[in-house]
Chains A and B, each alone.
Chain A
Amino acid sequence: GAVVSQHPSWVICKSGTSVKIECRSLDFQATTMFWYRQFPKQSLMLMATSNEGSKATYEQGVEKDKFLINHASLTLSTLTVTSAHPEDSSFYICSARPLTSGHNEQFFGPGTRLTVL
C-alpha cells in the first residue's frame, strides 16, 4: 500500500524554539495533505488542510502564524511550529490522499511526538 513518512519521529525542544516536521508521500502523489494533532487519550483533531502550490486552510482556533504549513511539491508538506511552548507538546500526524484515488482513502504518517520543555 501507499506509504507516508514523517520526520522526525520524536523531537524535544526548548520553549521558544521553532520545530519543522516533514510529511512525505513515498510512492504516490498527493495534491492535498492534512495535518492533525492528538493530545494524550484524545482523538485526532484536524489542524489544517495543505494544498500543493497554494495556501493552507486552517481549522477554527488554529493559529496560522504559529503553525506554518508549506506544501511545495506533490510529495512533501512541512509543518513548522514557531516559538513552541509546552502546551504545543503533542503528537502531530499528517495524512495524504492519492491524486488518483477514486475514494476518500487517506494514508497516514507514523506521527511526530513533540515535547517542548
Chain B
Amino acid sequence: DAKTTQPPSMDCAEGRAANLPCNHSTISGNEYVYWYRQIHSQGPQYIIHGLKNNETNEMASLIITEDRKSSTLILPHATLRDTAVYYCIVIYNAGNMLTFGGGTRLMVKP
C-alpha cells in the first residue's frame, strides 16, 4: 500500500472549516484514499473514502487532486468534539489491512 504523509498537528477555530492535507504521491490506480479519526482513548472511526472523484457525506468532504497524489479532508464547521487524530490511509479496496501512520492531531479551539 502506498505511503502517506500528513502534518503532525493542526489547530482550527471552532465553527471554521478544518482542512487536513495528505500526500500520497506513490498511490497506484487501484488504491483508494480512506480517512479515519481517533478521539482520545477511543477506537478509530471511519469518516470517508474516495478513489478519484470528490466525495461528501454527513461528516466531511474529501477532495482528491486530479493526479491523485494528494487529498484534503474538509470538516466544514469544526466543533470542539472534532478534536482528534486524523489518519489518511491508502489501500486497495479489496484489501484487508489498514496501516496507520502518524496522522494529524487536530485541535479545535474555542
Instruction: Give complex CA distance A93, B38 in Å.
Output: 11
A104 CB contact (under 8 Å) in B32, B44, B100:
B32
The answer on a CB contact under 8 Å between A108 and B45 is yes
Number of B residues near A (Cβ < 8 Å) is 24
Chain B positions within 8 Å of A108 at CB level? 43-45
User: When A103-B49, A111-B41 are in contact, do A34 and B101 touch as well, CB less than 8 Å?
Assistant: no
Interface pick from A13-21, A41-49, A66-74, A76-84: A41-49
The answer on a CB contact under 8 Å between A104 and B91 is yes
User: When A43-B100, A49-B97, A95-B98 are in contact, do A104 and B34 touch as well, CB less than 8 Å?
Assistant: yes
Chain B residue nearest to A51 in the complex (CB):
B96
- Residues 98-117 of chain A, each 1 if its beta carbon lies under 8 Å from chain B, else 0: 00000111111111010000
Instruction: Give complex CA distance A36, B94 in Å.
Output: 20
The answer on a CB contact under 8 Å between A111 and B42 is yes
A24, CB-defined interface residue at 8 Å = no
User: When A43-B103, A97-B96 are in contact, do A111 and B43 touch as well, CB less than 8 Å?
Assistant: yes
User: When A46-B97, A49-B96, A91-B41 are in contact, do A106 and B102 touch as well, CB less than 8 Å?
Assistant: no
Point out residues on B near A: beta carbons under 8 Å: 32, 34, 38, 41-46, 49, 87, 91-103
Chosen A-B contacts, 10 in total, with CB atoms closer than 8 Å, are A32-B96, A44-B38, A45-B100, A46-B98, A93-B44, A95-B43, A104-B49, A105-B46, A111-B42, A111-B43
